[in-house]
């Protein structure tokens, strides 16, 4: 979901285009008038009977032209307003029927925390590797027989295994649980990460800057956002204002301290990839380092090829306050 896909990008373009047109006309007119009617330049009075300082030359005015000065800008302003209002319906009316992926985003001084309200099992695509892991057993298969190291995490236990392209041994499958954070990471001989399979359970927390926010592609992501104090023991401290900003998507939403229900950001990421997150609201000393990444992934066994029937970003990026009762 690059910013080019979003309704805001189109709006920005159209507003910019018309601002330039209006500016050329207005400043052109201004400079013409400055040069033509400056002190010391004799006015051209060929077609004027009389010209009086401070009086409008009534015998020479052009009704059509003057009317246009009112009509054209009025139309332009009304049109731009209607067009801008159209973006509201794009971002505030989510398809109620649509399946959503809910995630809570908390902002602290000075990091973001992502709390999973739903579990997510995802896997890299097109790497040649495939990991199949469930309660019973784990299998790693590879198209090319490359020697690799496999790092397996089950809950808090990490194990390093060797994979020769076909066989992998010693996997402690007995304690696999979908309620734990589990991952399988495959590294090549040089230690470069080449394949990841991961299961994020409900309630799992990922924290910036060391962890990205991991979300599935082609789904309506609903992020419920709260500002929180680092020290929760002081009840007077309700956190400070922050803003969640993904520049590449043209998407931004505030965290409002003290707002119980939080704010909501809804969007459909359609391209897999990693995109930077920044805090876009000055929030104290280390505001500038309050950054992170959002990682768009394909659910296990799926791809992000847009043939899932999900419309491409018609509800692309959204920002609205949660609840009409505010
Ligand atoms: Cu911040």
Query: What is the Å distance from ligand 1's center to 320 Cα?
Result: 19
The C-alpha angle 141, 146, 147, rounded to 5 degrees, equals 100
- Of the given ranges (66-75, 91-100, 206-215, 232-241), which has the lowest mean pLDDT? 91-100
Residue 218 near residue 316, CB atoms below 8 Å: no
186, β-bridge pairs: 150, 195
Q: Quick one: 105 and 233 in the same domain? A: yes
Q: Quick one: 88 and 215 in the same domain? A: no
In a domain, 83, yes or no: yes
Q: What is the mean pLDDT of residues 30-40?
A: 86
Q: Quick one: 88 and 213 in the same domain? A: no
Query: What is the Å distance from ligand 1's center to 264 Cα?
Result: 17
CA distance 7 to 314: 8
Question: How high is the mean pLDDT of the chain?
Answer: 80
In angstroms, the Cα distances linking 86 to 3, 18, 80, 91, 292 are 17, 18, 10, 9, 31
Query: What is the Å distance from ligand 1's center to 246 Cα?
Result: 13
Query: What is the Å distance from ligand 1's center to 104 Cα?
Result: 16
Above 50 in pLDDT, residue 313? no
Q: Does 266 or 46 have the greater pLDDT score?
A: 266
Q: Tell me the percentage of the chain whose pLDDT exceeds 70.
A: 79
Query: What is the Å distance from ligand 1's center to 4 Cα?
Result: 26
Largest CA distance in the chain: 105
- Per-residue pLDDT tens for 167-184? 776 666 556 788 888 888
Which tokens is 107 given?
């902002």
Q: What is the mean pLDDT of residues 128-151?
A: 77
Residue 248 near residue 239, CB atoms below 8 Å: no
In a domain, 270, yes or no: yes
Query: What is the Å distance from ligand 1's center to 102 Cα?
Result: 22
Query: What is the Å distance from ligand 1's center to 317 Cα?
Result: 20
Which tokens is 95 given?
């398809």
Domain coverage including residue 251: 100-118+202-321
- Per-residue pLDDT tens for 286-299? 999 999 999 999 98
Above 50 in pLDDT, residue 321? no
Q: Quick one: 226 and 265 in the same domain? A: yes
Q: Residue 253 belongs to a domain with what CATH number?
A: 2.60.40.420
Q: Determine the pLDDT at residue 31.
A: 94
Above 90 in pLDDT, residue 112? yes
**In sequence order, which residues have a C-beta less than 8 Å from that of residue 190 and are 6 or more positions away?**
none
Q: Quick one: 52 and 114 in the same domain? A: no
In a domain, 20, yes or no: yes
Phi-psi region of 218 (alpha: psi -120 to 50; beta: other; left: phi over 0): left
Query: What is the Å distance from ligand 1's center to 292 Cα?
Result: 11
pTM for the full model?
A: 0.71
Above 60 in pLDDT, residue 314? no
Q: Does 239 or 316 have the greater pLDDT score?
A: 239
In a domain, 150, yes or no: no
Structural domain total, the chain: 2
């Amino acid at each position: 979901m690059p910013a080019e896909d979003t309704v805001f990008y189109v709006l920005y373009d159209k507003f910019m285009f018309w601002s330039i047109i209006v500016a050329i006309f207005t400043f052109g007119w201004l400079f013409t008038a400055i040069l033509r009617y400056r002190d010391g330049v004799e006015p051209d009075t060929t077609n004027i009977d009389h010209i009086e300082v401070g009086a409008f030359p009534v015998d020479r005015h052009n009704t059509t032209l003057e009317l246009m000065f009112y009509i054209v800008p009025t139309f332009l302003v009304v049109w731009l307003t209607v067009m801008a209002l159209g973006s509201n319906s794009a971002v505030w009316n989510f398809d109620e029927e649509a399946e959503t992926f809910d995630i809570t985003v908390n902002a602290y001084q000075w990091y973001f925390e992502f709390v999973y309200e739903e579990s997510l099992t995802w896997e890299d695509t097109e790497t040649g590797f495939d990991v199949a892991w469930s309660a019973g057993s784990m299998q790693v298969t590879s198209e090319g027989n490359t020697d690799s190291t496999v790092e397996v995490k089950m809950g808090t236990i990490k194990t390093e295994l060797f994979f020769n392209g076909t066989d992998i041994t010693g996997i402690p499958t007995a304690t696999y649980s979908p309620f734990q954070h589990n991952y399988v990471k495959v590294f090549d001989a040089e230690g470069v990460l080449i394949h990841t399979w991961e299961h994020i359970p409900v309630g799992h927390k990922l924290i910036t800057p060391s962890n990205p926010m991991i979300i599935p592609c082609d789904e309506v992501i609903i992020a419920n956002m709260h500002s929180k104090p680092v020290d929760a023991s002081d009840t007077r401290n309700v956190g400070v204002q922050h803003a969640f900003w993904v520049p590449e998507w043209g998407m931004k939403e505030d965290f409002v301290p003290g707002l119980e229900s939080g704010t909501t950001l809804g969007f459909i990421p359609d391209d897999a990839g990693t995109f930077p997150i920044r805090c876009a609201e000055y929030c104290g000393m280390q505001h500038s380092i309050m950054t992170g990444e959002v990682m768009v992934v394909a659910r296990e066994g799926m791809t992000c090829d847009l043939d899932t029937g999900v419309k491409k970003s018609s509800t692309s990026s959204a920002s609205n306050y949660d609840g009409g009762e505010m």
